Structure 1
Amino acid sequence: MEYTRHGNNAALSIHVLDDAAMRALGFTDYVPEDWYLWKSVSDDHTTSLDVTAAKDGSDWRIDVLDEDFGQPYDYQWILSRDPDFAYARKVAANVERELRVLADAGVLVGWREGMYV
């Protein structure tokens, strides 16, 4: 698999929609040149999905973060080692749900369920 400079799957891309559509999906632009989306993906709200995309579409990244430690939470690697790990399975289901919303809206391009992000 090829990776972007941020370590995401290079088969994916982000298509930036108009401002109203991005805001409707929950993106903010506190940094004027970027769209940013934060979604909790765990019941205890300690793991999040973070999507950042340059408004001109030139750069993007998708991260799943452990908010308590400010570190990536690689649920996909964890599940490859222990497919029955309940916390990682719940995070995976929630991340998939959020990515499906972005893909259905036309923001996340090239994504299919279960693929490495």
Structure 2
Amino acid sequence: MNWCCTKLDNLGKMALITILGNASWHISKEVHTWIQTHNHTVKHQGKEVRIIAFYLPSKSVTAPIIGPRTIEQLESAVRATEITLDAEVLAKLDEIFPGPGGEAPKAYAW
């Protein structure tokens, strides 16, 4: 997390928002204490990036959160939003992955 905070600080960002699940290292006292100490230091020095941690309330894993580990990976992922798929490709994807049927979002709700 320290590496990410340094990179974000260099980009002029003010916060690192992270979601922590129930993995042993996520809920460990060491991680919780490290985040508190980091934020306390940042608050009193008035510089660097604060860490805003959200803890998942569930004791079970519902889905992995997959994301970039580096700024370069994030920039590469963001470029994917600029890709436009033609109708033929979209139709093929619908054929391969038909979904639950029905109109979204109702068909995807529990």
Give the alignment's TM-score, normalised by structure 2: 0.29
**Structure with a larger share of its residues in helix:** 2
